[in-house]
Amino acid sequence: MDSKHPGIMITPKDQSHYHHGNLREALIQTALQILAVDGVAGLTLRKVAKAAGVSHAAPAHHFKDKTALVASVAAEGFRILSKELLGVADIHQDSKEQLIRLVRTYVGFAQREVELFRLIFGPSAPDYREYPELYEAGIECWNTLVQLVITIMKDQEITNCEPDLLAFSLWAHTQGVASLIVNQAVIPPHLIPIKGAMQDKAIELLIDGIIAASRKSKKTPDGE
């Protein structure tokens, strides 16, 4: 048990500090690492405390609850995701390609940071209404997404729906793909080898659909 997290120990930078120095941040980072190894179920306050080199009750002085710590970890997750999504925007290219890239980045994040993704979008996610930090990080992530979608819509001259709506639809689809993959949804065995291909196809289907729908509505404008 002890040897399971060999390099995970996060020690204060300045040993002279009896007071850890920046325990709050250290706890979050430690929690992130433990989460990645042991999953949501294995993320324990006491384990985090021990790995950070403090007593089991030390976290209480920086986080009211275990939930509060989880909220901060989730917020950190949102920030990481935001950053990755922003990276997509930097690459200038065909906007349909960019859209696909966007989705791939999202799904890629989910696959790479499985447990973090589960934490953020799963049942263990804290109520964001109670944690402003989490809320802000989440909204920033959403805004990043919408901003990208708006750019792409201009490019593709899609005008038949609002950016928010399109972003939501895209988000839902992406979220679904990621969720099904990450949470190991029950998929027939003969489909498992081509799961990756299916995922790509599913994305294309949606994007083509959006564009096609936009073209259609340009010819036959629908007031609704």
Partner DNA sequence: ACGACTATCTTGACAGTGTCAAGATAGTCG
Partner DNA sequence: CGACTATCTTGACACTGTCAAGATAGTCGT
Half-sphere exposure of 26 (CA within 13 A, CB side): 21
Among 57, 139, 197, 213, binds DNA (CB under 7 A): 57
Whole-angstrom distance, CA of residue 95 vs CA of residue 91: 10
Give me the torsion for CA of 174, 70, 185, 206, rounded to 10°: -10
* Closest to DNA by CB, 58 or 100: 58
Nearer to DNA, 36 or 198 (CB): 36
Q: Which is nearer to DNA, 62 or 79 (CB)?
A: 62
What angle, rounded to 10 degrees, do the helices at 163-182 and 114-121 form? 130
- Choosing from 40, 58, 80, 89, the residue that interacts with DNA (CB under 7 A) is 58
- Decide: is 190 part of the binding site for DNA (CB under 7 A): no
List residues binding its own copies (CB under 8 A): 39-41, 78, 115, 118-119, 121-125, 127-128, 134-135, 138-139, 141-143, 161, 164-166, 168-169, 171-177, 179-180, 183-188, 191, 198-199, 201-202, 205-206, 208-210, 212-213, 216
Which of these, 35, 127, 16, lies nearest to 77 by C-alpha position? 35
Residue 194 CB: number of other CB atoms within 10 A?
Answer: 11
The listed partner (its own copies, DNA, none) that binds 55, CB under 5 to 8 Å by sort, is DNA
Cβ nearer to its own copies, comparing 100 with 161: 161
Among 204, 223, 76, 90, CA closest to 136 = 76
Give the one residue of 9, 11, 13, 17 binding DNA; rule: CB under 7 A. Answer: 17
CB contact set of 120 (below 8 Å; sequence gap of 6+)? 74, 77, 78, 81
Report the C-alpha gap between 212 and 144 in whole angstroms: 25
Smaller CB distance to its own copies: residue 156 or 169? 169
Residues in touch with DNA (CB under 7 A): 1, 16-21, 23, 43-47, 49, 54-58, 60-62, 65-67
